[in-house]
Every structure is written in structure tokens, then in C-alpha cells.
């Protein structure tokens, strides 16, 4: 091609913007269509009460040289390695995470720790014959007692169904070596490393974090696209792909029907397929099944402003207790100082995971803020400090739920979409993948490579 190709990207989240940035960087004319009023998708950063906050805790990890190079190019010096200090909140105490052996034994007790080890050994001696569900996987790798004490309640809050109704694939490829043995070894190693570093009390996990919040990297990518002559259309929800035969030729958008040489989409998979013309019967059948099988959890985030700067030292707490409904509490005061600036308050983010069918999803904001205030007081984490303003964000369908057999529906839908030329299908929603930012960057980069190859440019 002699003139630069016109390429559209659907969605300005991590996947879409990585593709758009890479394509613009290599000379394409790029137009991004984003349904929402801001860039960053689930990884955006908000301005709130003169501070900056993310949509729950967002860490960035990658060992991939291409991703690391892109990160440095986009952010320059405006990022750092941040020390996370997560914790596990239980009724009786808070455990450091990653676990430290002495912390666990001291707080859980020698007897209970011994029972957990015994239950693990019994499971290894007579393992369950088949590991089909997420519950099977956890019990097989950690033993029934650790499963019941540390995994069941928190994860059932998260997924909203018993873990025996979820596919073992949820454990993910990175967890193939996980077990009680490696957890204990890691707990010993963490303690040993910290002791050698002279920081016995401090358990840390470092990750890369932009100076002004996770979303900063996506704001920069969008600027990069614009600086190279591209466009980022906000409030522009793509209604349908335009196709001729098996080739994608453009998009139907609020700005009209626009012709493109290639489309990279990070929009959710099933609705994207559903609006294609002349769907074969088997695809229609898979779409019908997708409604029951490719399901999501949603997230209601309630931000509270607490008039104290010294609430608790953790970056976030996983709430392993049934006494409150909140699943996780993030304290943005403990991330980087640029987030809170000169403000003398802490913003906490309380996450309530639910489905759209649950009444909580539609509660009025005032009721959600009242619930969050009540629950924060019940945990004692407010330390009696005054709790002022509240703000609610709803993230619809943000966590894909891997139900057993979901691949049988997902695969044919992906294959059907894969049969169209001049189309890249990426992202958390596009691939129905319970994944993190770096995986979406990888998909964005590969989609850009494929677009270039397909257009011969």
C-alpha cells in the first residue's frame, strides 16, 4: 500500500489502545471508537475529591521485553516500582500477603496450622480422581481444610456461585505449580528474603505503576495516537461491523457508517457476532447458549472519603469473612503520594461483586454509600475517623465467569469471527478472558502485526 491504511479500533481500553498506538506509531491512519466518555476502559483512573483513584487495585507486571519497551516509551520517567502491601482480612486478624510462615502460625495457631497440613497430606495420599471444577483444583492443590478456610468464602463472594460450578481453567496457566507445598516454601522464602534485606516485618510485592494512576498510561497512548494524526472518538459506541461477504469493510457508528481497510475490535464477543448479517443456524444456537454459559460478574465500587491519613498500612485487603458483604477494600492513600497530593484524607474503595439480576446492582447510590459506611464501621478499619463523601461506580460485566463447558460455546463463536478477513478480535471481552492488562497489551501488539501483514504494508 502506498497511502497509509485506514484502520479502526473499537474500544479505548488497554487492548484497543495498545493496538491503536502501535499502528499509529508505524504509520497507519487510526481511528479509535470508544463507547464511554473517557479512555482506559476498566484500567482508567478517575479524578475524585481532588485526588486520583483507580477502579479497584491495578498492578502491572510483565517480563515481556516488547511490553516493557512500550511501557517505557509511553511513560518515559513518569512511573516507578511500587511496593504493594496486600492483606487478608479475617474475623479475628489480618494476615500479610504473600503469606509469611511465622505470621500465619502466630495468628492462625499451631494446632490449626497442623490440621491444615494434615488435611493436605491426606488429599495427596488419596487424591480425587478427576480435577474438573475450580473446587476440585483448589482442594487437590491445597487440601480441603485450607480450601474451606482460605479460598471458599472469598471466591464464592467473588463469583457468586459455589466453586464446584466453575471450570478448573480458572486456576490459569500461571498456577500450574501452585500447591500448599509451594505456598509454604514461598512463605519461608519471603520471610528469609526480607530477613536478609533487614526488613523482617515488611512483606512486599513490587509492581510497575504510572506516577498519576493506572489510567495515565492509556491517556498517554491516546495522546500518542492523536499526535500522529489519528482520532479518538469518545461516546462513540460501535453498533455493528459492516461486511461484504467474508470481509469486514467498515463500522456502523453514531458518526455514521464509516469505511475502513481493517478493524481491530476489543468489544465483547457475543454481541459483536450477534449483529453480523445472515448468521448460520449453528452460530445462532451457540449465541443462544452463550447467554447461559458465557456469563459475567459485575462490580459496584463505592468510594468513601475518610478524614484520616493513618487508617491501616495495607494497599488493599481481601475480605475473607461472611460478616460483611464487601469483597475487597483498597486504600489509595498507600499507593503513591501523587494520587492524594496535598489532601489530608484517605479514599477507600469498597468492592461489591454481583450480577445484574441481584437487587444490589440497582440499589440507589445513597443506599450503597450507606451500606459501605456501615460495613466499614463494622470492620473497625475506619478507626473511628469521620467518613464523609461517597461516590458509586458500576462496572457492568467486567469479570468473565468460566463455567464448566464454556469453551464449547466460546470456541465456535471465536472461529466464526476468525473466518472474517480484515478483522482482529482482541481484549478481555473480545476473547472472554479473565486476564490482566499485560495480556491485553500482548493481544493489541499482535493484532497490529496481523493487520500490517494482512494489508501488506
Ligand X SMILES: Cc1cc2nc3c(=O)[nH]c(=O)nc-3n(C[C@H](O)[C@H](O)[C@H](O)COP(=O)(O)OP(=O)(O)OC[C@H]3O[C@@H](n4cnc5c(N)ncnc54)[C@H](O)[C@@H]3O)c2cc1C
Q: Report how many residues bind ligand X under the rule CB under 6 A.
A: 34
Q: Is 427 in the site for ligand X (CB under 6 A)?
A: yes
Is 33 a binder of ligand X (CB under 6 A)?
yes
With CB under 6 A as the contact rule, the residue among 26, 338, 407, 435 that binds ligand X is 435
Nearest of 221, 143, 146 to residue 444 by alpha carbon:
221
Say how far apart CA 242 and CA 224 lie, in whole Å: 27
Cα separations (Å) of 415 from 286, 309, 352, 412, 452?
A: 12, 52, 34, 5, 21
Which of the ranges 49-57, 65-73, 119-127, 411-419 carries the binding residues for ligand X, by CB under 6 A? Answer: 49-57
In 10 A of CB 390, how many CB atoms? 18
Dist. CA 418–CA 283, nearest whole Å: 13
Q: Is the dihedral of CA 174, 177, 181, 187 positive or negative?
A: negative
The CB-of-46 to ligand X minimum distance in angstroms stands at 13
The verdict on 205 binding ligand X (CB under 6 A) reads: no
Whole-number Å distance between alpha carbons of 35 and 364: 24
Q: Taking CB positions, which residue lies at the least distance from ligand X?
A: 13
**Nearest 5°: CA angle at 400, between 205 and 373?**
65
Q: Near ligand X by CB under 6 A, which window of 193-201, 287-295, 383-391, 422-430?
A: 422-430
Q: Is 327 in the site for ligand X (CB under 6 A)?
A: no
* CB of 8 or CB of 369, closer to ligand X: 8
Per CB under 6 A, 355 contacts ligand X: no
User: Is 232:219 a contact under the CB 8 Å cutoff?
Assistant: no
Based on CB atoms, which residue is closest to ligand X, 146 or 248? 248
> Could you say whether residue 14 binds ligand X (CB under 6 A)?
yes
Residue 424 C-beta: closest distance to ligand X, Å: 12
Give, as ranges, the residues between 259 and 298 that touch ligand X (CB under 6 A): 266-267
* Rg (the chain; Cα; Å): 23
DSSP state of 166: S
* Binds ligand X (CB under 6 A): choice among 4, 5, 11, 412: 11
Binding of ligand X at residue 398 (CB under 6 A)? yes
Residues found near ligand X in the complex (CB under 6 A): 10-16, 33-36, 41-43, 55-60, 237-238, 266-267, 299, 395, 398, 427-429, 435-437, 440
Amino acid at each position: 500500500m502506498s497511502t497509509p491504511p485506514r484502520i479502526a479500533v473499537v474500544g479505548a481500553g488497554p487492548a484497543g489502545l495498545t493496538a491503536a498506538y502501535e499502528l499509529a506509531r508505524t504509520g497507519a491512519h487510526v481511528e479509535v471508537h470508544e463507547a464511554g466518555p473517557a479512555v482506559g476502559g476498566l484500567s482508567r483512573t478517575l479524578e475524585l475529591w481532588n485526588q486520583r483513584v483507580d477502579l479497584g487495585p491495578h498492578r502491572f507486571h510483565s517480563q515481556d521485553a516488547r511490553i516493557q519497551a512500550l511501557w517505557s516509551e509511553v511513560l518515559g520517567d513518569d512511573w516507578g516500582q511500587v511496593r504493594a502491601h496486600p492483606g487478608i482480612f479475617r474475623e479475628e486478624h489480618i494476615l500479610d500477603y504473600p503469606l509469611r510462615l511465622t505470621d500465619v502460625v502466630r495468628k492462625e495457631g499451631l494446632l490449626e496450622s497442623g490440621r491444615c497440613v494434615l488435611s493436605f497430606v491426606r488429599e495427596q495420599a488419596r487424591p480425587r480422581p478427576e480435577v474438573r471444577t475450580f473446587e476440585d483444583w483448589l482442594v487437590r492443590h491445597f487440601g480441603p481444610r485450607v480450601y474451606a478456610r482460605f479460598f471458599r468464602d472469598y471466591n464464592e463472594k467473588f463469583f457468586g456461585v459455589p466453586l464446584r460450578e466453575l471450570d478448573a481453567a480458572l486456576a490459569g496457566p500461571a498456577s500450574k505449580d501452585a500447591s500448599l507445598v509451594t505456598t509454604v516454601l514461598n512463605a519461608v522464602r519471603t520471610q528469609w528474603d526480607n530477613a536478609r534485606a533487614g526488613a523482617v516485618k515488611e512483606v512486599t510485592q513490587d509492581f510497575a505503576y504510572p506516577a498519576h494512576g493506572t489510567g495515565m498510561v492509556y491517556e498517554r497512548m491516546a495522546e500518542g495516537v492523536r499526535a500522529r494524526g489519528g482520532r479518538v472518538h469518545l461516546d462513540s459506541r460501535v453498533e455493528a461491523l459492516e461486511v461484504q461477504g467474508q470481509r469486514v469493510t467498515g463500522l456502523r457508528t453514531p458518526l455514521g457508517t464509516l469505511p475502513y481497510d481493517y478493524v481491530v475490535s476489543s468489544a465483547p464477543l457475543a454481541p459483536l457476532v450477534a449483529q453480523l448479517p445472515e448468521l448460520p443456524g449453528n452460530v445462532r444456537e451457540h449465541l443462544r447458549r452463550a447467554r447461559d454459559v458465557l456469563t459475567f460478574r459485575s462490580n459496584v465500587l463505592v468510594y468513601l472519603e475518610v478524614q484520616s491519613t493513618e487508617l491501616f498500612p495495607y494497599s488493599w485487603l481481601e475480605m475473607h469473612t461472611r460478616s460483611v458483604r464487601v469483597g475487597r477494600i483498597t486504600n489509595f492513600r498507600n499507593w503513591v503520594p501523587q494520587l492524594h497530593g496535598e489532601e489530608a484524607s484517605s479514599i477507600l474503595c469498597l468492592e461489591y461483586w454481583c450480577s445484574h439480576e441481584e437487587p444490589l446492582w440497582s440499589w440507589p447510590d445513597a443506599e450503597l454509600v450507606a451500606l459501605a459506611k456501615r460495613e466499614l464501621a463494622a470492620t473497625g478499619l475506619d478507626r473511628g475517623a469521620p467518613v464523609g463523601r461517597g461516590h458509586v461506580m458500576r462496572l457492568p460485566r467486567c469479570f468473565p465467569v468460566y463455567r464448566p463447558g464454556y469453551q464449547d460455546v466460546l470456541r465456535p463463536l471465536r472461529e466464526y469471527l476468525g473466518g472474517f478477513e480484515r478483522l482482529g478480535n482482541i481484549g478481555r471481552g473480545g476473547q472472554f478472558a479473565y486476564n490482566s492488562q499485560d495480556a491485553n497489551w500482548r493481544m493489541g501488539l499482535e493484532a497490529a502485526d496481523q493487520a500490517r501483514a494482512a494489508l501488506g504494508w
